[in-house]
Chains A and B, each alone.
Chain A
Amino acid sequence: MKPLNLIALLLFLAGATWALTRSETVVRDIQVAYFKIINPTLTAGSSLETKTRKLLDETEHSKVLETKLAAVDGEIGRLRIIESQFDALKRENKELRHALDFKKATNFDVVAAQIIRRHPTTWWQTMEIDAGEERGIGIQLSVLSNEGLVGIIDRPFKNRSSVLLVTDEKCQVSVRVEGTPEVGILSGQRGKFDSNPTLRLRFLSKDASLKSGQRVFTTGRGGIFQPNILVGTILSVEKGPIDSEALVAPAVNLSDLGTVFVVLSETP
């Protein structure tokens, strides 16, 4: 090997080692700088993608009506989510009103956002929304739609955020199955790029008695998601020697999603 090539290789390995040993804070700073630089093209690219999608979807609605409809849909969705949370709290209150030490303070506020980009990376199930730190969005906040849980905020930037979808393997959700004592951890499955991806519900009891169609809700445990958010419905159950697993269909059709809501409350 030529001496110059050897020196270049050693420098390359040193550079790679430097990158591999960076702390989360430094990585975050690098990402912020990178997205700041490419932001104009990112915005243009997202806008192009959104326009193309709208053009394909648009059949008979005029632009004005569509805008109004989107605004109304957004407002309805926001109110539905808030209403469902109040209903859940009401039910909870009713069930536990005799418990003397029960006290729950919930600060539940949401921000509506439009999806501007889908699957920007190869392997991760992510999407980008048009709301960021300017509107109070921070890391690891829950993202919902009218139908249920969408995911969590992975990277918030100034005026946009990246959302890790519930269908990604890395997004784990502590859930309970409606009408049963069963609780478990739900996560996406690696490499499921189909139009109807399924989720895997693990750590159920060995003799879990579940039926297809039963709904799955968040437990609120674990410090990320608020309780009682619909996540999906049971498709099938596989019983193992130690525990059981179930396949769950997501409540939200992630391929046909326009408006989402980021829950701003600081504690789940």
Chain B
Amino acid sequence: MLRYNISTVILLLIAFLVQQFVPAFTGLSHARFLIVHLVFLCCAVTVTTPTMLLLAFIGGLLWDAHCYLAPIVADPEVYSQPVESLRFGYSIILFGIAGFLMQGLNPVFRQGKWHFSALLSGIAIFLYLTAEFLVISFIRGDFTITRSIFRLLIYTSVLTMIISPIVFWLLYQIAKIFDYSLYPEARKSNSWH
């Protein structure tokens, strides 16, 4: 189990490297495959709560290091209403919440029904991005949701969800190598029959 947990951390770090090769689809309102988030969500459902929280911390911290915008220092007399920056580290909290959401389906996943988790990963991405947008709106004020924002949320969630079976398959292979069962309940019920 320890070796599997370590491998999920390594997999998350690899996801950051892979993410660099994934461009935004300009024709789809700049939607993209969120590989990092997907790997985290898929791992979250297969590990214990402490490991999930460790993954959330690493994922959120590195994601913010990747995306954080530096504050603009300008003359306050001219720029009297500067646009607020999000605090570095907010993604850690969002990753943690999304991880707990995924862990809610852990009992179903342990029965071998991974497709529910795959579906939930898409929903979790949608909720993650929505929460992120709401945080931005709250910090900066003036809530407005446009058609292109909605399209971005939908397309990103769907695109990412589509590739979730690949990540689950990868996790299954890793678990097999380290002799860790992702579906212990399914194994039990098979042995009973």
Contacts and interface: CB of A to CB of B under 8 A. Distances in A.
A170 B75 contact: no
A154 interface: yes
A31 B65 contact: yes
Contact of B148 (A48, A155, A193): A193
B111 interface: no
B15 to A, nearest CB: 11
A48 B22 CA distance: 10
B85 interface: yes
Interface stretch (B50-58, B170-178, B185-193): B50-58
A52 B24 CA distance: 13
A224 B68 CA distance: 20
A39 to B, nearest CB: 10
A5 B50 contact: yes
A145 interface: no
B138 interface: no
A169 B83 contact: yes
B23 A154 contact: no
A12 B140 contact: no
Interface string A1-27: 010110111011001101110101001
Chain A interface bracket (under 10, 10 to 19, 20 to 34, 35 or more): 35 or more
Interface string B65-103: 111111111110011011101011110110010000000
B92 A27 contact: no
B83 A187 contact: yes
B68 A191 contact: no
Contacts of B136: 123, 190
Contacts of B92: 12, 15-16, 19-20
B62 A34 contact: yes
A193 B152 contact: yes
Nearest to A8: B50
A140 to B, nearest CB: 7
Given A12-B56, A24-B71, A221 B66 contact: no
Interface string A149-179: 0001011000000001000011110100000
A95 interface: no
Contacts of A118: 23-24, 26
